[in-house]
A and B are shown apart, each in its own frame.
Chain A
């Protein structure tokens, strides 16, 4: 059985740019970059990136597929939108960063243990169950993602905050029993399924 990653490699053999244009959200903008560097210089998290957006765009055009998709750079984006506002060519840079991250994730080659990726996955898995985020189980899942002992430590550390939230009625302890959800569960599942099909078709993941 070939993986989605192998299929994509075979299909876009020599042009990673074409692959990005076809499969990454807003990816068709990448060729519009004129390498001025304003996005990189405007990024408040710039120091944390191995490759700023400008460099990622150049790497895409240079066909550096592995380096780009396995990079954790685009996962550093906090969606502050500074780059979009400042870009002289109006590239939707924030969206491209999320598009790249999502694509790498779906191909299964995004960096393992990358905190943003793990958190986002837990969030999605939590949300998808009932159509509502269960904040209690989501927080617990986050605390315990690095093992039982670390989980207990995290929970104890956050104890005061948690109790405060309960007192302020922002956190309902009864949610532990399964929690609330949207009314039409079947409808919700059908909608998500349909959305997934459309996205798979668009991004080259359709079977």
Chain B
């Protein structure tokens, strides 16, 4: 892999979610050289794993497709998947970055025909469905994957299964000898669009996630509602029963000194949105109950909140659930708590409980360059010398719309760094 294309006038964008794609495109469309590094085999990030998104309830294809079209047509932008940043040295305008590129075992010759997937029988937990179902160990990450190129899971490399995939490929694209590569690049500015990850719900002990059946996270619920998801869009529990009476628990891990201190901001809107999924799946028979401390329908979304309030199938209970028990007979989780409106104790059964888990920065626990400045919740504020920027949900818990705004802003700042370097180099 040649590193010569990058110079101190190149911008590196780390993370290929909606924010990273946006930041990279804005800079590239302004004529800057951009490298977009994504650690997974596909761009799209977490947005691609939503069923629909608020406020317009469109499918994620909408936003992603436009970005992919812009991206394919832009010669200034180079996408590197399965690539992580191992080290950054230097300072504003003059960074040296070390990238680690993992082997995909499939070359650019791949036509995404799917023969390799058909040939192998080994399966792995499906990353696109948070492991709720399994897929073949030679797979396309999801329908919207970019690049549209298969991946061979390292677990079958060096086994007869790997050889089956290789033998099945008519394009000769399977290369089982691929090794991890290290690439060093010079760049002038770095935009960190590394996004978020869900707070580990199992840490919220009284909610019994992982212990009590039919308690799922809001992310898993997105997948359950999606026709491409593990239950083909039906709200089915593990025991096969259809979930009609669904509870949503807000602030599961957010606004809590024992977990995440910050308000994750999008979870109220996410649960309000997900009541639509219950309605879509069960119609008038569906029942959604939102347990909340206070509803924060951020910014201009108050009307969305009001429309959900007007839905007779949706009930709001002003209370943070204290604990979840389990009814062996019905297989239902039982929610215990005290309702703040009247201070009445309740013990209420639901078919399914959705924990609106908080967002924590994906870089939590990851070693970042010393220069990076984080806030008290590990969101990226920028860098001391001003050459690196946080964008989107890596910088603050943001929805897609606001992530895109934040990414555009970060991109403009990176462009300014490049302009400064360029003018000093010219002088």
Contacts and interface: CB of A to CB of B under 8 A. Distances in A.
A55 B259 CA distance: 24
B206 A37 contact: no
A41 B251 contact: no
B338 A54 contact: yes
B248 to A, nearest CB: 15
Contacts of B322: 37-38, 40-42, 86
A136 B321 CA distance: 45
A46 interface: yes
A7 interface: no
A37 B340 contact: yes
A54 B340 contact: yes
Interface string B334-362: 00111110010100000000000000000
A90 interface: yes
A36 B251 CA distance: 10
Interface in A45-90: 46-47, 51-52, 54-55, 85-90
B319 A41 contact: yes
Given A36-B320, A37-B338, A47 B345 contact: yes
A40 B258 contact: no
B319 A36 contact: yes
Interface string B216-235: 00000000000000000000
A172 to B, nearest CB: 45
A38 B293 CA distance: 10
Given A35-B340, A52-B343, A54-B343, A41 B321 contact: yes
Chain B interface size range: 20 to 34
Contacts of A40: 322, 337-338, 343, 345
Given A37-B320, A41-B337, A42-B323, A88 B206 contact: no
A55 B206 contact: no
Contact of B256 (A51, A55, A88): A88
B343 A35 contact: no
A42 B256 CA distance: 15
B343 A55 contact: yes
Nearest to B337: A41
A34 interface: yes
B189 to A, nearest CB: 39
A102 B129 CA distance: 55
B320 A46 contact: no
Interface in B270-285: none
B343 A36 contact: no
B370 interface: no
Contacts, number: 61
B345 A34 contact: no
Nearest to A47: B345
A90 B336 CA distance: 20
A67 to B, nearest CB: 13
B262 to A, nearest CB: 12
A38 B204 CA distance: 13
B255 interface: yes
A88 B323 contact: no
Interface in B221-273: 251, 255-259
Contact of A34 (B258, B293, B321, B336): B293
A90 to B, nearest CB: 4
Contacts of B257: 87-90
A37 B319 CA distance: 6
Nearest to A85: B258
Nearest to A35: B340
Contacts of B206: 42, 86
A24 B345 CA distance: 27
A41 B336 contact: yes
A41 B319 CA distance: 9
A99 B345 CA distance: 25
Interface centre among B255, B337, B339 (most CB of A within 10 A): B337
Interface in B81-121: none
Interface string A147-175: 00000000000000000000000000000
11 contacts: A36-B251, A37-B340, A38-B322, A40-B338, A40-B343, A41-B338, A41-B345, A85-B258, A88-B255, A88-B256, A89-B257
Interface of B: 206, 251, 255-259, 293, 319-323, 336-340, 343, 345
Interface of A: 34-38, 40-42, 46-47, 51-52, 54-55, 85-90
Query: What 10 pairs between A and B have smallest CB-CB spacing?
Result: A41-B322, A41-B337, A40-B338, A36-B320, A88-B256, A37-B319, A90-B257, A36-B293, A55-B343, A37-B338
